[in-house]
Chain A
Amino acid sequence: MRKSLLKDIVNTFISLPKGLWVTAKNWSFLRPSVTQLYPEEKPTLPERYRGMPTLPVDPQLGRTPCIACGACARMCPEHIITVVPEKGTDPKDRRPAEFTIDISRCMWCGLCMEVCPKKCLKPARTFELACYDRQGMIYRLEDLMRLGGTLEPEAEESESSGDE
């Protein structure tokens, strides 16, 4: 009984400073804060970040290589993609006249990007899609090309070779 009491007293004077030391280590420069100051400091997105579907611009064509086949529109479980094709003089030359995605109903399943035969529907590396009305959620062809940036041929090759 007496021994355990003494032990308790000694333990008190050892363990309390120990606890203070643990928090002091956090408090000092040893452990900087992990908070991200969001609007000023953007998070680094993972390499395979899967954002909303967009149409990146092929630098050789100067537009998206999309052939307006409509596979994405048919695949989409929410039916939010509308594609209107436009035919050029060459029968092989097909391009989208309109390409609209109503992102407000998109559930980020990524089926449209998977099914795309030209691999031109790519996830955007952006997540700041907030807007003030629902009209802002409807993305047209030029918005999708602007958001998509440029198509990286390297990534396309590696992906197509993986499929074969």
Chain B
Amino acid sequence: MQIDTQQITALAVEIVKILAAAVVILVFILLVVLYVVLKLRWVIARIQSRLGPNRTGPWGVLQTVADAIKLFQKEDIIPQGADRWLFTIAPAIVFIPAYVVYVVIPFGKGLTVRPLDVGVVYVTAISSISIIGIITAGWASNNKWSLLGAFRAASQLIAFEVPVILAMCIPVLLSGSLNLDVIVQKQTGGIANWNLFNAFPMCQVACLMLLVAGLAEANTTPFDLMEAESELVAGFNTEYSGMKFALFFLAEFAETFTLSALLVTLFLGGYNPPLHILGGQLTGYWYSLVSLVWFLFKCWLVVVFILWIRSTFPRVRIDQLMNLSWKALIPVGLANLLITGAYVGLWLAR
């Protein structure tokens, strides 16, 4: 059998491309998390009439870098009685889904790593895997607080996965595609074509639902029951320190950015500029660059909004959280899905 050199070169090029994309995404996630943590501290400080970090580097921009270096220097403790193997791989199980989800997010025109045709399904499926990591962490720690946090995480993430999917179905139905790139392209041509400003009231309800359920999924403050520090010490990551804790931290903030990226992609026009004049007339690489800037700008707005929510609302009780999902979001989401289906099938199809 003859070895086809062309095929091998193509394979090699593909592998190099994949590795390059992996490195670029990793660096991007690190930068985003460094920034989001810093911004969180600034926003919370300003809301509490403080100044926030301002000593480390100019305006305190190196604060999170210093925090990260401190975390990496810390001793990596594995408690006695813990399941060493599970304890070690749990942070990876949490971080890898948060990292791999970035593959399908359209950062700009032609800047998706893999524009999968099942993008939306991929995102929901992959991001659910992190629950396994959290339960593993809670179980392996051999600590009652960790285990309680993990139980809560499981019930919360299962409860809120459903509204997230129900909300994500609405733009999918309207665009007729599960591909995030196609959903974005359907929203080209100015702010009036964005999903948020169409199909009243289905899209607005879905957007709000995705925001609320996504906050619960991303484990941000009004719904951060799995690490409620006043009740559970630190929840599932009580026993973690050093690098492993850093991975949990990284995954949490990467998920926050994923949520804002999904909100932008599905409802806020993705990488499309809000007006045609603001970059719509460009072509080629220039348009890719401008659309990337627009995407990041919109994500920044959503992230700041999330941080605003995070620093405003107190934590809900566990029964309130469950009621919100099973009694409010899921029925409304189902009704919304039915109405949107009828709208798409009976009204738009005519």
Contacts and interface: CB of A to CB of B under 8 A. Distances in A.
B285 interface: no
Interface stretch (B118-126, B136-144, B155-163, B309-317): B309-317
B48 interface: yes
A27 B51 contact: no
A27 B50 contact: no
B2 interface: no
Contact of B308 (A23, A32, A34): A23
Nearest to A20: B312
Given A23-B312, A24-B308, A33 B50 contact: yes
Contacts of A35: 49-51
B49 A33 contact: yes
A130 interface: no
B313 A27 contact: no
A37 interface: yes
Contacts of B47: 23, 26-27
The A interface, classified by DSSP as helix, strand, loop or mixed, is helix
Given A26-B46, A27-B43, A27-B46, A19 B51 contact: no
Q: How large is the interface on A (under 10, 10 to 19, 20 to 34, 35 or more residues)?
A: 10 to 19
Contacts of B308: 20, 23-24, 27
Interface residues of B, number: 14
Nearest to B46: A27
- Which of A19, A23, A31, A37 counts the most chain B CB atoms within 10 A? A23
A16 interface: yes
A26 B52 CA distance: 14
A35 B312 CA distance: 20
A121 to B, nearest CB: 39
A34 B50 contact: yes
Given A27-B308, A35-B51, A19 B313 contact: yes
Interface string A1-34: 0000000000000001001101110110001111
Contact of B49 (A19, A24, A26): A26
A33 B313 contact: no
Given A27-B46, A33-B49, 12 more contacts: A19-B313, A20-B309, A22-B312, A23-B47, A26-B47, A26-B48, A31-B49, A32-B49, A33-B45, A33-B46, A33-B51, A34-B50
